[in-house]
Chain A
Amino acid sequence: MSDKFSIRKYLRDVPLPFCAGCGSLTVMNQFLRAVHELGNEDLSKFVFCSGIGCSAWIPSPHFVADSVHTLHGRSIPVATGIKLLRPNLNVVVFGGDGDIVGIGLSHFIHAARRNLDILVIMVNNMVYGMTGGQVAPTTPFKSKTTTTPYGSFEYPLDATKLAVTANAVYVARWTTANPNELKESIKKTLEIQGFRFIEVVSQCPTAFGRRVGFKNAGEMLEWFKRNSVPIEQAEKMSEDDLAGKTVIGEFVQKHRPTLVQTIYKTIEEARKGVEKD
């Protein structure tokens, strides 16, 4: 791109709600950089849906765009209604781990199964940050949170593996310590159809990091770097070696008919039937 990236062009003049060091800012920045690098002067070709949680505030009300800030866990259903009736718009869902694979888990699986044409960006901070740091379905085993004061006695869910199993056409996982890979991944997904999922392992220094021994966001990013294993390398490692590690990279890239395609084909066939009557 020849012209310089200016984030303000895409943002409303409304104060941002994020804590200092929040990973959602990296996700917001990299998303808008991707949009810019794809040549979008504005966000008029997009609709954003989000649920409840800190990362749901990435698009709403900040992006100068159509955005629907829905209920906790229900961003994907609302996105379904929008995408099916406005197939030409690029529908993007932002949500946290609690929103997408906690309370909204079933919608996530079914949207992937249907191959609904949306991009879901899940900011996984491993905790319920907005409500003060309670255990999440993604919290690492033994982590102390406000509702697991003795350490979590549950094992976390791997949302990326789940998306692969549910037949998403594009699945990638990055951390906020891989901003360039994240941006390139977003660019790629914005130009393809079908159910696309990007998990971004992100730092919540306020409600998670400080309770598990990190002094600041920087220390968490260092931890992400130390703890990440590229998928190519992970494939050669044993399950024991991978325990507690975050596998990053592109997990799936494939084609299959999308829900928009199959539903509009059905309508076309039904209408032909009526015209014959």
Chain B
Amino acid sequence: MKVVKPGTYFWQGNEACAEAAIVAGCRFFAGYPITPASEIAEHLSKRLPEVGGIAIQMEDELASIGSVVGASWTGTKAMTATSGPGFSLMQETIGYAFITETPCVIVDVQRLGPSTGQATKCGQGDVMQTRWGTHGDYSAIALSPNSVQEMFELTIKAFNLSEKYRTPVILLADEITAHMREQLTIPSIENTNIIDRKKPKTDDKAFFGLEEIPPMPAVGEGFNIVVTGSTHNDYGIRFTADPVVHRRLVERINGKIQKHADEIVEVETYNIDNCQIGIVSFGCTSRAIYEAVEMAETKGLKVGYVRPKTIWPFSEKEVKQLSETAKKIIVPEMNLKQIFYEVQRVAKCSAEVIPLNKIGGGELITPEEIFQKIWESARF
């Protein structure tokens, strides 16, 4: 099999992610074994050579993301996959990819931290590591799938955003979504939107400025590219003291994401302009909100929700709209209030934001628990 044929499949989330990477054009993968992300490395180790690509197991996560950055500068779409501990190790290089505007995809299949924590159990504790993990002023793009279908779709989207905005993109999956098996439908390649980075014209020289998203050459093409993680001018030359060069560079690379938040953000909403109680939920936890809403509706309650598929940039518009109609917003998440504060920031004083958190043992937040919170919130 070359690229997966269109049709209906019954796959594991990690498998869907790996196949989607191939569809998106990924031809280099480097990783280091870690539960619950290893299946992505295993699957791509078999599949990438079949399509002429390379998959290699490196000595650690630092080397994995490092070689992904190197691969990207050859004009190759490249990816790594890990979980919380490995994701922590990769943070410095994610910052390097950000400042050097190196497109690449990092999959973080979240498990239960901090540290080794409960290594095989599900958690959603990497939300803020995804946003602020590297040092310095940084703007993240991170996507949050809640089904095997979305593991496929959002992996392709991660590559597309990465190529379009010339920046690292994180697929923030979780153990449940990555390990469960369910049905998914794969469209034909012709019906799949694939974006490739903008290449320079032969006389282009400014690969790090002038345009909001500059064109990106590859090594060996004769452009004499200078790539550096130090502050650099439009041509890549190091300027380690000039305040203006730093401001221009860092404001542009943050701005190219923040100014396009509306184009980047993808969100599922329901009744956000007509509800008493709102819910904001993402990833595996959000799978429970549908049934909870149904239960509430049978009791005559009006409930709306925002389910961010793009976790960063945060879906401010939709959450703001929800906060303007709902009196209370419930935020169920498998961590100790990471997205909660983000919702509170956006809702300001227009709605009361109520946390619903559960950590430990990989236990999911159930529809009943969410319904119970809706019921209490509606009554008191």
**Which chain A residues have a beta carbon within 8 Å of chain B's beta carbons?**
12, 14, 44, 47, 49, 60-61, 64-71, 73-74, 76-86, 88-89, 106-107, 110, 263, 266-267, 269-271, 273-274, 277
Contact = CB atoms under 8 A, between A and B. Distances in A.
A81 B230 contact: no
Interface centre among B52, B66, B78 (most CB of A within 10 A): B66
20 contacts: A61-B237, A61-B238, A68-B73, A68-B228, A69-B230, A70-B69, A74-B62, A74-B63, A78-B67, A81-B66, A81-B69, A81-B71, A81-B72, A82-B74, A83-B70, A84-B28, A84-B54, A86-B74, A110-B59, A270-B46
Given A71-B96, A84-B54, A89-B219, A60 B70 contact: no
Contacts of B74: 81-82, 85-86
Nearest to A66: B219
A81 B71 CA distance: 4
A207 B373 CA distance: 64
Interface string B284-305: 0000000000000000000000
Nearest to B226: A61
Among all A-B residue pairs, the 8 with the closest Cβ atoms: A81-B70, A77-B66, A270-B49, A81-B71, A81-B67, A78-B70, A69-B228, A77-B63
Interface residues of B, number: 47
A266 B74 CA distance: 21
Nearest to B78: A81
Given A44-B220, A71-B93, 7 more contacts: A66-B225, A67-B227, A68-B219, A81-B69, A82-B70, A85-B74, A86-B220
A53 to B, nearest CB: 13
Interface in B190-218: none
A60 B54 contact: no
Contacts of A82: 70-71, 73-74, 219
Interface string B49-79: 1101110101110111111111111101010
Contacts of B54: 84-85, 263, 267
B30 A271 contact: no
B59 A44 contact: no
A271 B52 contact: yes
A107 B236 contact: no
Contacts of A263: 54, 56
